[in-house]
């Protein structure tokens, strides 16, 4: 709760030395009385909600329900219908929930420093924006033992297979960005991952270079990719024992719970940034709600 002066030009900016209570006001939105404060130095009046991410929101009551809906395979327009609000309200709250989720995830990663990751798996998940002629890659890292999603990055890739020539003809050359995205993802891992961790992935050609650069003392193992099964929308594999089960199962859960990633869906991503926002919301839901027991042990 804010109790320090938010005025940048004040001598006591972000200090509570000269802050005094200055009454309350009733907030209709969630039926609460909110404390007001006044800085005795500059006279700035503010409340405990002035610098909150929810500042000036008119429909705070739906935030938590919307957080669960967007993490449960429900589309933006269907969420708006369920909550009896306009779809543009949900679109705005998608960005707000993503910002809040990123802040919470940063705090979660700080907690992991006390109990660092010792077994890490990572992979790329393929999606698209607007059309299959404009594919995207989602680079994901997970804790193999506790199943937490540690981070992900979204990048564009050129079309491949029988759609490659048609994509180049219609949209021109598309820059390949997974390598840069994976570098960004790996740059944050050492702060909460043991330097001697066991790291596993499939046999992608530039993975060894990335791991060697970031974790030179780690045990790195690569496994041949297997044919996907019908279960898990192709992410789970047709084998008796899958050494990459944790990352593959996490990718399957992403496809099941983020409607933009479901195969053969008309809820396609229109903007890459919104896909990243949606995935960041799901990360918090996955780690703190679905894996609540593991989360509480940290």
- Name the nearest CA neighbour of 134 among 108, 160, 105: 160
d(CA 59, CA 66): 11
| 196 and 253 fall within a common domain | yes
| 182 and 84 fall within a common domain | yes
| 292 and 207 fall within a common domain | yes
CA angle 181, 95, 36 (to 5 degrees): 130
**What Cα–Cα distance (Å) separates residue 287 from each residue in 5, 105, 143?**
34, 9, 11
| 265 and 124 fall within a common domain | yes
**Considering the domain boundaries, does residue 174 fall inside one?**
yes
Q: What is the pTM of this model?
A: 0.89
d(CA 147, CA 144): 5
| 38 and 179 fall within a common domain | no
How does pLDDT run along the chain (298 residues), one tens digit per residue?
557 788 778 877 777 667 888 888 888 887 888 888 888 888 888 887 887 888 888 888 999 999 999 999 999 999 999 999 999 999 999 999 999 999 999 999 999 999 999 999 999 999 999 889 999 999 999 999 999 999 999 999 999 989 999 999 999 998 888 899 999 999 999 999 999 999 999 998 889 999 999 999 999 999 988 887 878 788 888 888 889 999 999 999 999 999 999 988 888 899 999 999 999 999 999 999 999 988 888 8
Burial readout 9-27 (b: 16 or more C-beta within 10 A, e: otherwise): ebebeeeeeebeeeeeeee
Domain that holds residue 110: 70-296
| 98 and 168 fall within a common domain | yes
């Amino acid at each position: 709760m804010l109790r320090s002066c938010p005025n940048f030009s004040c001598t006591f900016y972000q200090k509570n030395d000269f802050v005094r209570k200055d009454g309350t006001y009733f907030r209709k939105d969630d039926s609460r009385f909110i404390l007001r404060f006044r800085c005795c130095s500059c006279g700035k009046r503010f409340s405990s909600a002035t610098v909150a991410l929810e500042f000036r929101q008119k429909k705070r009551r739906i935030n938590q329900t919307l957080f669960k809906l967007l993490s449960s395979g429900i589309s933006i327009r269907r969420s708006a219908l369920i909550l009896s609000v306009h779809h543009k309200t949900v679109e705005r709250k998608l960005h707000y929930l993503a910002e809040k989720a990123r802040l919470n995830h940063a705090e979660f990663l700080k907690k992991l420093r006390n109990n660092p990751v010792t077994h890490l798996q990572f992979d790329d998940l393929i999606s698209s924006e607007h059309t299959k002629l404009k594919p995207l890659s989602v680079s994901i890292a997970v804790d193999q033992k506790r199943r937490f999603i540690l981070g992900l990055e979204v990048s564009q890739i050129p079309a491949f297979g029988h759609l490659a020539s048609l994509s180049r003809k219609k949209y021109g050359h598309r820059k390949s960005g997974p390598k840069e995205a994976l570098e960004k993802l790996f740059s944050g891992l050492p702060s909460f991952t043991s330097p001697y961790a066991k790291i596993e992935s499939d046999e992608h050609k530039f993975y060894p270079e990335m791991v060697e650069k970031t974790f030179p003392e780690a045990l790195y193992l690569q496994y041949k990719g297997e044919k996907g099964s019908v279960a898990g929308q192709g992410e789970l594999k047709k084998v008796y024992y899958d050494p990459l089960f944790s990352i593959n199962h996490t990718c399957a859960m992403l496809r099941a719970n983020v409607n933009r990633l479901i195969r053969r869906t008309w809820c396609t991503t229109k903007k890459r940034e919104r896909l990243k926002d949606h995935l960041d919301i799901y990360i918090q839901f996955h780690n703190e709600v679905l894996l609540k027991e593991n989360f509480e042990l940290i």
